[in-house]
Structure 1
Amino acid sequence: MALHVFEHLADCFAAEQVDTCFALLGDANMNFAAALAQRGTRMIYVRHEHCAVAAASAYARKAGKVGIATVTCGPGLTQVLTALPAAVRARLPLVIFAGEAPIGSAWYNQGLEQAPFVTACGARYHRLHHVPRMAEAIRDAFVEAQQDRVPVVIGVPFDLQAKTLDAALPRPAPSAEILPALAPLPPHPDAVPTLAARINAARRVVIMAGLGAADSGAAGACRALAERTGALLCTTLPARGLFHGEPYCLGVAGGFSSTLARGLFAEADLVLAFGCRLTQHNLDKGKLFPAADIVQIDVAPRAVSQGLVAARHHLRGDARLTAEALVAATEPRPGWRSPALARAIAEAPADTASFPPEEDVLDPRDVVAALDAALPRGWQMVNSSGHCSFFFAHMKRPHAEFLTIREFGAIGNGISYAMGVAAARPGDTVVMFDGDGSLLMHVQELETFRRHGLNILICVLNDGAYGSEIHKLRDEGLPEDGAVFGRTDLAAIARGFGIGGERVTDLAALPALIEAFARRGGAAVWDFPVSDRVVSPVIRRAHPGGHSGTEHPVSLEGLL
């Protein structure tokens, strides 16, 4: 039988061991997608192109593989222009098959110059117009995505895809066979004593770990270094939970830091940043460590990051190997660790502010605490963006069970990220935390959950508004009409899509609801009506007049 070019393309993807693809079909990609499915790839057919790319992003992070998506040309591609920069900034390896308008037509109504859209997002675009080189170009796209940790979009005109080949074309060795197997980079021997001397001279050390530390397996070595030097631990937001269970871990560093953590960070005189980009968020725009020298320990340290000269000192090396070398080179001492401080870390709430009580609505912080206490260990958690994301970021869950991707700050991604995690961990239950405004942006994907049998529970903090915006408008004394839309009955909407739906007003009922959901499985939306007057610390600091809460600073007396 004659082999079509689209079948040859599908063979090239199959040679890369692609096991899952998120897709929305159109003229420029449907033949390719059908052929890919015939070759054994699991296809998850979404209802919006944005969701295909966003789901592939979460799949890439959770599975540790290249995320794969396919959309059609023209409007199919332009729909993904929020998901693409989010993946770029999170440094996620994706390969996206987008098709192109027919090359043989003088005019096509969905045709446009696709490359500028993609490259404007920071992703890469490759036109595949020469059939004999297509196999090598696809292999190279997988190499590029993995080496540079970047999304790569492939465009192939769909009339070219429909052509038949006279004979099967040879395929090159797949990316897995040619990517270099790099050994971890040890620190230079001369650099270790210099940094060890700096650590020995410091009084209050903080060790901050990012995804680079997680990827290198440095959690244990960082714990050992912290114990030896009396340092406190923390993580970046994407690596949250890396030190789960550690009594001297302060949680997330940055804009999402707890009240106690911010107070302690202000007293630090040395910060060791292992395997993390020093960003506007994890340094809270340079305000988080006002008295500390910062040392960046990374395989590729940078002088300037997001406009900040963040670190005064740098050491190039693998996070795990460097931490291990420093354990051997530093002097043991208690640092600022004490039983009193451990108790304070264990007992202090993430947010100490109080707000006037309201009838018929819940405090979002109480909802999060109740969910954290009742949800089983081992379930996969997914945190979205938006005002509510601060509260969920402080759940006591290990890094391997909690996904956060919010480098672009876009709401509306949570439902897609939950699909990606469910595809990467098909035997697990996924719990997604979101706000009502964010969920409603892509609520159509509830039907995708049902159709594909995805085991996902969505917990929504429903304040009837775009949370961040109403607090900012209140601070500025402006009308909030455009940010308030009422408390949509999200449970009824979920039932309309054929999945479970519950409106939860009594937190004491959560254990029974969770037990019933665990037995039943499937998908469901739980709608928690929450106050729109409880404002996260992130918003309070930037917009102090937009709330009626009372701040309660944490005293460090007796802790230092």
Structure 2
Amino acid sequence: MTDESRTDGALTGAQLFVKALENEGVRYIFGVPGEENLDLLEALRESSIQLILNRHEQAAGFMAATYGRLTGKVGVCLSTLGPGATNLVTAAAYAQLGAMPMMMISGQKPIKSSKQGLFQILDVVDLMRPLTKYTRQISNANTIPAKLREAFRLAAEERPGTVHLELPEDIASELATPDTHIFAPSDARRPTASEKSLRRAADMIRTAKHPLIMIGAGANRKRVSQALIHLVNTTDIPFFTTQMGKGVVDERHPRYLGNATLSSGDFIHCAIDHADLVINVGHDVVEKPPFFMQPGGKQVIHVNFSGADVDPVYFPQHEVVGDIANSVEWLADNCGHCPNHDFSEFLRVKEALEAHLEDRCEDDRFPIIPQRIVRDVRRVMPDDGIIALDNGMYKLWFARNYKAYDNNTVLLDNALASMGAGLPSAMMAAMLYPQQKVMAICGDGGFMMNSQEMETAVRLKLNLVILIINDNAYGMIKWKQAQEGFANFGLDYGNPDFVTYAQSYGAQGHQVSRTEDLQPTLTRAMKEGGVHLVDVPVDYSENDRVFNNELAELTRDLRADCG
């Protein structure tokens, strides 16, 4: 719609939509536009909002979700109708399960009159309903500001998640009435937990003999991180993390016990079994369980923004519901050091686990074993460096073996656990924090699911290293297949020449052919800047040896002592 068609200073629906987005502080929109978005695209052309043109809608959604995860603000992505919108479905679930604030905008054919029949028409609003907190079609331009404000409110409100608005083509070009106004963002604060619930939690902590702190994804915020450091330093209570809670407290802290990468059977579970109280800060049942509760077993305090979803493996005896940082600060100020606490077994577990994490990390066999890959990556990454992990067997090794020094420096997904998210997540981190070193760590399978976004990364002139851990197979499923006693079948494939593939996009490609070359190759790639792909063959025989056999043997006596 051109300027000449406006009357009395009225805006088109598309212009009003973009003005409302600007009012919400939106910096970027990630997406793949279609013809149904052309009015919106024209309004964006004159906007302060930067359009990031992706090569696939799924990657656009992953980038928007990661923006929400890293900033706490709502990330925004865009698609056309039909197949464009269905390509956002995985990203919608990724943000919803991962508690990442994200808004999807999809186009649609005109709804008041159309001569296209049912061509490309799907009920996208109904499609998105199970995957979102809020989904609406806009049927009148005058309602755009209210619907958009409500969508942003719900996306960011605890527990954060996904929202969706459908903007039909004729509503985007329709003139809104001149008196239509845009609503200011809310400045409402999160509610604080009741003093009664806080006092009961403090009493439970003081009377416990072997309390243990568990840190989950909901604690991965700066204020919560500072509060937890205060709590740990004040009480001396040891802590462990879920996969998505890594780095909330510096994992070099003397009270850090380890990561509950597995649901059971690791050293950390000896400590969990020994605990008579677990203070769960920020974990909920959407993330894969870090341990299983049993009736009549240890007590659990649920400290989170929202109440616990009760599950057969998770049924906390007490809940502290409210702003997590405020709750943790109150507990730190009111619990203090308790002389009846006994952490000796926990520290014995820590010693055993630390020794195991050092095992074989200097191994020089080739192809390279996972322990050595993790060790070399940790050595080249600075303290504030960010790694973004795709989903595969290597994610378990990094969650368990890689120590994170700050919150949101290890980006992984253990809720939807979708393949294909690693590269877009790393790209978003590199855009937001250009002064920090960023590395995408992907399996060959996960990388190829959104590898076309290398062109986007090169076009945006990002500084990014992409480490491909290459086994020419869906390695995690092969591991599970072997665990179940099935024959090796249906999971092997071929790959392109990754060095040539990277170069075809204008990136730099590197093939690691000796173990001793991995660390210097990564160092050189990060120093040079630009987009670099590093292909490293992996020896996954360690999966069975460590996770299926060695851990059971090494923890048997320790588990008996800790029970």
Could you say whether these structures have the same fold, taking a TM-score greater than 0.5 normalized by the shorter chain as the test? yes
- The farther-off stretch of 142-151 and 36-45 is 142-151
Among residues 18, 24, 28, which one is paired with 1:20 in the alignment?
28
The corresponding residue for 2:319 is: 314
Is the 8 Å Cα contact of residues 463 and 487 (structure 1) preserved in structure 2? no
Distance 2:266 2:97 in 1: 28
- Cα 1:536–1:434 change in 2 (3 A) is farther
**1:52 to 2:60 alignment:** yes
Shift of residue 400 of structure 1? 3.6
**1:417 to 2:431 alignment:** no
Shift of residue 72 of structure 1? 0.4
Distance 1:280 1:519 in 2: 35
- Cα 1:553–1:318 change in 2 (3 A) is same
Shift of residue 350 of structure 1? 4.1
Distance 2:545 2:321 in 1: 35
Is the 8 Å Cα contact of residues 26 and 71 (structure 1) preserved in structure 2? yes
Distance 1:448 1:152 in 2: 25
One-letter identity of the residue aligned with 1:319: I
Among residues 513, 517, 533, which one is paired with 2:521 in the alignment?
513
Deviation by residue 1:345-388 (Cα, 9 ceiling, x = unmatched): 6832349799xx99641101211111111222322221222221
Deviation by residue 1:42-98 (Cα, 9 ceiling, x = unmatched): 221111111111110011111221101000011100111111111111122212110
Distance 1:322 1:166 in 2: 45
Is the 8 Å Cα contact of residues 134 and 154 (structure 2) preserved in structure 1? no
The 3-state SS of whatever aligns with 2:431 is helix
Identity of aligned residues (%): 23
The corresponding residue for 2:554 is: 553
Superposition pairs of residues 104-503 of structure 1, within 5 angstroms: 104-106=113-115, 107-147=117-157, 149-163=160-174, 165=175, 168=178, 170-175=180-185, 178-182=186-190, 185-188=192-195, 190-215=196-221, 217-244=223-250, 245-253=252-260, 255=262, 259-278=266-285, 281-286=288-293, 291-302=297-308, 304-305=310-311, 307-327=312-332, 328-329=334-335, 331-333=337-339, 335-337=342-344, 341=348, 344=351, 347-350=354-357, 360-394=366-400, 395-397=402-404, 398-486=406-494, 488-503=496-511
**1:67 to 2:75 alignment:** yes
Distance 2:463 2:526 in 1: 10
The 3-state SS of whatever aligns with 2:440 is strand
Distance 2:166 2:396 in 1: 38
Shift of residue 121 of structure 1? 2.2
- The farther-off stretch of 388-397 and 194-203 is 194-203
Is the 8 Å Cα contact of residues 464 and 526 (structure 2) preserved in structure 1? no
One-letter identity of the residue aligned with 1:248: R
The corresponding residue for 2:48 is: 40
- The farther-off stretch of 336-345 and 395-404 is 336-345
Distance 1:281 1:47 in 2: 31
- Cα 1:353–1:203 change in 2 (3 A) is farther
- The farther-off stretch of 433-442 and 11-20 is 11-20
Deviation by residue 1:118-164 (Cα, 9 ceiling, x = unmatched): 1132443211111222222222222222225231111121133234x
Query: Which is helix-richer, 1 or 2?
Result: 2
- Cα 1:271–1:173 change in 2 (3 A) is same
One-letter identity of the residue aligned with 1:117: L
Distance 1:216 1:523 in 2: 29
Structure 1: 4+ residue segments shifted above 6 A: 351-354, 557-560
Distance 1:403 1:210 in 2: 13
Shift of residue 449 of structure 1? 1.0
Count of residue correspondences = 544
Distance 2:426 2:486 in 1: 35
Is the 8 Å Cα contact of residues 137 and 165 (structure 2) preserved in structure 1? yes
- The farther-off stretch of 321-330 and 384-393 is 321-330
Distance 1:55 1:154 in 2: 18
Among residues 90, 97, 112, which one is paired with 1:82 in the alignment?
90
Shift of residue 33 of structure 1? 2.7
- Cα 1:65–1:242 change in 2 (3 A) is same
Distance 1:316 1:59 in 2: 26
Deviation by residue 1:218-263 (Cα, 9 ceiling, x = unmatched): 4344344445544211123222111212112123235278932122
Is the 8 Å Cα contact of residues 22 and 70 (structure 1) preserved in structure 2? yes
- The farther-off stretch of 293-302 and 241-250 is 293-302
Is the 8 Å Cα contact of residues 124 and 150 (structure 1) preserved in structure 2? no
One-letter identity of the residue aligned with 1:185: T
- Cα 1:556–1:37 change in 2 (3 A) is farther
Distance 1:223 1:28 in 2: 50
Distance 1:338 1:477 in 2: 36
One-letter identity of the residue aligned with 2:288: H
Alpha carbon RMSD of aligned pairs, Å?
3.2
- Cα 1:549–1:197 change in 2 (3 A) is closer
Is the 8 Å Cα contact of residues 271 and 346 (structure 2) preserved in structure 1? no
The 3-state SS of whatever aligns with 2:61 is helix
Shift of residue 323 of structure 1? 3.4
The 3-state SS of whatever aligns with 2:490 is helix
The 3-state SS of whatever aligns with 2:290 is coil
One-letter identity of the residue aligned with 2:183: A
